[in-house]
Amino acid sequence: MPEWDDRDIIEGFRVQGREELAFNQLVAKYQERLYWHVRKIVIDHDDADDVLQNTMVKVWRSLADFRSESGLYTWLYRIATNEALSFLKQKKKKAFAPWVDVESQMSESLEADPWFNGDEIQLKLQQAILKLPEKQRIVFNMKYFDQLKYEDMSEILGTSVGALKASYHHAVKKIESMLDED
């Protein structure tokens, strides 16, 4: 079955009796991209699965109200980013020892994570990324791994293209310096 374009998905969702079909198309089309975006923020697979489910449930409940002026793709990314950040915030609140940094824990757990298959350089890169401030981390991942355009990132994160370029620039410099230290 050919992949539906975004307009067909949105219009399909508004036709009574076709909501589920349209939603299935949306899930099939975007689940992997959103999963990888979320996974790089929360690192753990089970956490990424929870966040992706929360994201899709939210999409199912609000797609009928979606305003077509913004792209479906950027809207989905925005919801997924918010859900991932919300998840991390809750995780920090629930942390057994509040003085322990959740990002440091995620960084340490990477080494023993059976679902991480990067080589030593990739491990060091991920650990360096986890040391970045949250926004720079997200911007770096979106630009470097997902190769999103600054204009799309601007719509997703609600910040200017200039500020995003600045964040990416700082992130790259910090990562270079962290990798040089090792």
Binding residues for another protein (CB under 8 A): 24, 27-28, 31-32, 35-36, 39-40, 45, 49, 52-53, 56-58, 60, 78-79, 81-82, 85-86, 89, 114-119, 122-123, 125-126, 133-136, 138, 144-147, 157-163, 165-170, 172
Q: Which is nearer to another protein, 10 or 110 (CB)?
A: 110
The least distance separating another protein from the CB of residue 89, rounded to whole angstroms, comes to 7
Nearer to another protein, 6 or 78 (CB): 78
**Which lies closer to another protein via its Cβ, residue 10 or residue 34?**
34
Exposed e or buried b for every residue in 73-89, given b needs 16+ CB within 10 A? bbbbbbbbbebbbebbe
Other beta carbons within 10 Å of 173? 10
Other C-beta atoms closer than 10 Å to the C-beta of 145 total 12
Token pair listed for 103? 């990002």
Structure tokens at 148: 């999103």
| Residues in CB range of 103: below 8 A, 6 or more apart | 130, 131
In the complex, least distance from residue 118 CB atom to another protein, rounded to whole angstroms: 3
Query: Considering beta carbons, is residue 68 or 86 the nearer one to another protein?
Result: 86
Closer CB to another protein, residue 6 or residue 49? 49
What residues contact residue 139 under an 8 Å CB cut-off, 6+ apart?
153, 157, 164, 167, 168, 171
Shortest separation between residue 11's beta carbon and another protein, angstroms: 20
Cβ at position 7, least distance to another protein in Å: 21
Q: What is the CA radius of gyration of the chain?
A: 18
CB of residue 123 vs another protein: minimum separation in angstroms? Answer: 8
Kindly tell me which of 68 and 115 has the beta carbon lying closer to another protein: 115
CB of 5: closest distance to another protein in angstroms? 19
Quick check: helix, strand or coil at residue 54?
A: helix
Q: Are 55 and 38 in contact (CB under 8 A)?
A: yes
